[in-house]
A and B are shown apart, each in its own frame.
Chain A
Amino acid sequence: MSAAARLAALACCLAAAAPAAEGQVSGALDLGAGTYRPDRAIPGGIASIAPSLRIRRGLFEVAAVGNYSDAPAGRWNFQGGGTGTLRTPRLGPLQGEVFGQVDWTSHYRVEGTTTISGGARASVSPSERIRLWLGRSQGSAATLGGRRPLQRSEVGTSAWVGGVHLNLSLLRTSFDLMSGPNLGVTPDSGSPSRPQIVNGDSGRVERRLALTDAVVSGQWRFASVMFDAMVGRRFSNATPELTIWGVSAVRSLTPTVALVAAAGRAASDPVTSVPGSRYYVLGLRLILDGSASAVPLLAAPPPASAGEDTPFRVGPPVPAGREVMVRAPGARTVELAGDFTDWRPIPLLPWGDGSWRVTLRIAPGVHRLAVRTDQGEWHAPPGTRPIASEFGGEVAEIVVE
């Protein structure tokens, strides 16, 4: 199947799945352009199209992503994948999940790879702001008419520190070697069907390649911009160590359009033979569903003293101000006005979980404010006590500590 046909098939699946699903649906289409400098290949400009879709229904979740990029001289690449995850109900701080994953790649004049894997993951959340997880998966990668088994093991933790969502993870991928000039692998004279590689440092003969990626990443919001940064190191039993990094910023222009900028140094994927690269990309993100967030799927920092169902909240002070959250599922627009905005309506940004948020400078004290949805009447934020305004509408007075 050609890349264009795969992309069309993926788009059809996404379009068909979205209305059919009764659960929470979020999707986006990224359109970008930039420079791409792959390892061992010709650098140049690229244009890319990357659809993504996530559907949640109860404990079940399906996610699909695709990325088609077009380079000069007709060179193109496609990467796509889908994941289905079934979670267990929470048992106190514990939760488990099983998942299945299919990934495939396709390239101009080069055979692609299809990878199928499945596994399980267990997580523990000692508090609302910290999570640790451990996972293991097994599968096989098919390319050039052959299959080879692969295993992945992961351990990680995430925590909210101030307004930053921090992640630390270790991912170990191991798979049987496949002979080929690019990998410098030589056939084993003793067993010709199994290639091997000699470790330059230890002199050990390896028949499996193992990679470990140690990555630290963080996501945070400043004003209306969501930032994402990661840095990591790749360790391997057969290849040189490599530092990988990436930064991106997403600025919502409207509830359905965002500006995206990204740069980084990606590692190669020996399983699919996708080379490592340096990239600099600028693009637009189109939100396919109004309730979806224009920023990457990033869980909101859990409030220190309120549950997820809190209808209205003014958060603690952070460098950019205080985050104001209004829960308004199904709304197309949400605006806030108060004495801390000179009563100018300030649009809130959709967060993807029914909540709308904005970060504003609000001094401690008593403040008078109102919200409105979909350009309707001004009223007190949900969960606050309405006060009849002299002007006919309803407002609220809150104490910011």
Chain B
Amino acid sequence: MHLIRRFLILILLATLPMALAAQDRRLSERLDPATAAAVQQAVDSAVAVGLPTEPLVQKALEGSTLGASGDRIVAAVAALHGQLGRAREALGDDADEAELSAGAGALRAGLPAVALRRLRSLRSDRPLVVPIAVLTDLVSEGVPTEQATRSVLDLARAGRPDDEFVALRRQVQSRRGAGDPAGRPPLRPAPDPPVDR
């Protein structure tokens, strides 16, 4: 009996570090215990449903650095959890962490999930991080969602590289800096080959 008890204690001691390691030390070091526990719950939930956890941790750490209260941090992490889930529905199970984070940001900026689905279908074999980031940026700059989406989808449909998406954003920013109203359709990089719609 003593032998079995010792064996169980050894097993417990051996697995304890693994259990402790499952808790992100960054949370316990930077957040108060209650907030850290609530954020850890959201992280555990993300693991359970196969969502990336690092964006949730980073969101909590951002709140800590910006001096937010525990309640606001927990609310922001929960909201991001939901946005990541919706982004995965739109982008598919193959979307990686960076794409899901960018997608969550797009949804937070007010873009419809259908825009992400269209982008995925047009660019299924290439990373979507930059196109989504540019689309989010354009909308955040004040370009109407429909026009911004159309411009980015046109580039994706034409199979343009990431550089051209970034160039599109720069063009819009430079034109806005020159006094163009935000509602003006964004410029398209030239030459733009004809595409099937």
Residues on A facing B (Cβ under 8 Å)? 337, 339, 342-345, 365-366, 368, 370, 378, 385, 387, 389-393, 395, 397, 399, 401
Contacts and interface: CB of A to CB of B under 8 A. Distances in A.
Contact of B98 (A365, A368, A370, A395): A365
A392 B68 contact: yes
B133 A366 contact: yes
Contacts of B186: none
B47 interface: no
Contacts of A395: 62, 66
Contacts of A339: 58, 61-62
Interface residues of B, number: 31
6 closest Cβ pairs, A-B complex? A391-B68, A343-B61, A391-B66, A343-B65, A390-B76, A339-B58
Interface in B36-89: 58, 61-68, 72-73, 75-76, 79
B180 interface: no
B173 to A, nearest CB: 8
B166 A399 contact: yes
Contacts of A393: 66-67
B61 A342 contact: yes
A387 B63 CA distance: 14
Interface in B125-146: 129-130, 133-134, 136-137, 140-141
Contact of B58 (A343, A345, A390, A401): A343
Contacts of A366: 98, 101-102, 105, 129-130, 133
A390 B72 contact: yes
Nearest to A387: B140
B1 to A, nearest CB: 48
A345 B61 CA distance: 11
B25 to A, nearest CB: 11
B63 A391 contact: yes
B26 interface: yes
Nearest to B98: A365
B164 interface: no
Contacts of A370: 65-66
Given A339-B62, A370-B66, 17 more contacts: A342-B26, A344-B61, A365-B98, A368-B58, A368-B62, A385-B137, A389-B66, A390-B75, A391-B62, A391-B66, A392-B66, A395-B62, A395-B66, A397-B105, A397-B136, A397-B137, A399-B133
A371 B62 CA distance: 12
Contact of B65 (A378, A385, A390): A378
A399 B130 contact: yes
A343 B136 CA distance: 22
A235 to B, nearest CB: 50
A370 B68 CA distance: 15
22 contacts: A337-B65, A344-B61, A344-B65, A365-B98, A366-B98, A366-B105, A366-B133, A368-B62, A370-B65, A385-B173, A389-B62, A390-B68, A390-B79, A391-B66, A391-B68, A392-B72, A393-B66, A393-B67, A397-B105, A399-B133, A399-B134, A401-B162
Contact of B66 (A378, A387, A397): A378
